[in-house]
Structure 1
Amino acid sequence: MVDDPPPYFQAHIFVCTNRRPDGHKRGSCAAKGSEALRDYMKARAKELGIPGIRVNSAGCLDRCEFGPTLVIYPEGIWYRPQTREDVDEILATHLQGGGRVERLMLTDKDRV
């Protein structure tokens, strides 16, 4: 058995920036402001000096109705931030503090 190398990042955040045509029945995260929230999250994480994380764009994460959505790995925790203040709370509570922002989490009940 081969030993796996250590992870390159301690946390990897994927923010859905998928865009569907206007009026699509499922909507899209980009139409709900996810690109601006992703940009803010990247800049704010850097400003706060949070080590070992990466904020990336993702294609469709298939939870469009709840968007904007993001998922944080390795835990696989899903969030639906709506504002910059929500992003700040996720950064502080989840990524800096190791906790969870329950009011913003998507759970098994949030399935379409």
Structure 2
Amino acid sequence: MASFFEHHVFFCLNRRETGDRPSCANCGSEAMQEYAKKRVKKLGLAGPGKVRINKSGCLDRCEEGPVVVIYPQGTWYTYVDETDIDEIIDSHLVEGKVVERLLIDRN
């Protein structure tokens, strides 16, 4: 059975109080999710059969964050800024190439 989206991208937007475990929202994930959504739309990649950028609650990778996961591949990335998000979009979503330097799970 084919996936409804070629790539379904989830950005953790969980926010915790200072002093608890780290949280992605405290690392700018909300702004990065909005940026990715706008860029994917601008590139004409958004929509059924293509790419969907979603918000997510805690993905339980707090100490490795901020995190984004791309399905159906199950590829986990961390990022710092818009440059990293651009690289994930251009390389992974457009060209189908994993961005090794941003991977969380490295074999």
Counterpart residue identity of residue 20, structure 1: R
Length-normalised TM-score, structure 2: 0.91
> Aligned partners of 2:77 and 2:63: how far apart in 1?
13
Task: Determine if contact 2:3/2:72 at 8 Å carries over to the other structure.
Answer: no
User: Among the aligned pairs, what percent are the same residue?
Assistant: 49
Give SS of 1:42's match: helix
Matched with 2:40 is 45
Aligned length: 104
> Aligned partners of 2:71 and 2:105: how far apart in 1?
15
Give SS of 1:71's match: strand
Which residue of the other structure, out of 67, 75, 78, is the alignment partner of 2:76? 78
Length-normalised TM-score, structure 1: 0.88
> Aligned partners of 2:42 and 2:23: how far apart in 1?
28
Give SS of 1:12's match: strand
Matched with 2:6 is 10
Counterpart residue identity of residue 51, structure 2: I
What are the ranges of 5 or more consecutive residues in structure 1 without an aligned counterpart?
none
Matched with 2:101 is 103
> Aligned partners of 1:49 and 1:105: how far apart in 2?
25
How much is the aligned-residue C-alpha RMSD, in angstroms? Answer: 1.3
Q: Which runs of 4+ in 1 moved over 4 A?
A: none
Task: Determine if contact 2:91/2:97 at 8 Å carries over to the other structure.
Answer: yes
Which residue of the other structure, out of 86, 90, 93, is the alignment partner of 1:92? 90
> Aligned partners of 1:18 and 1:86: how far apart in 2?
20
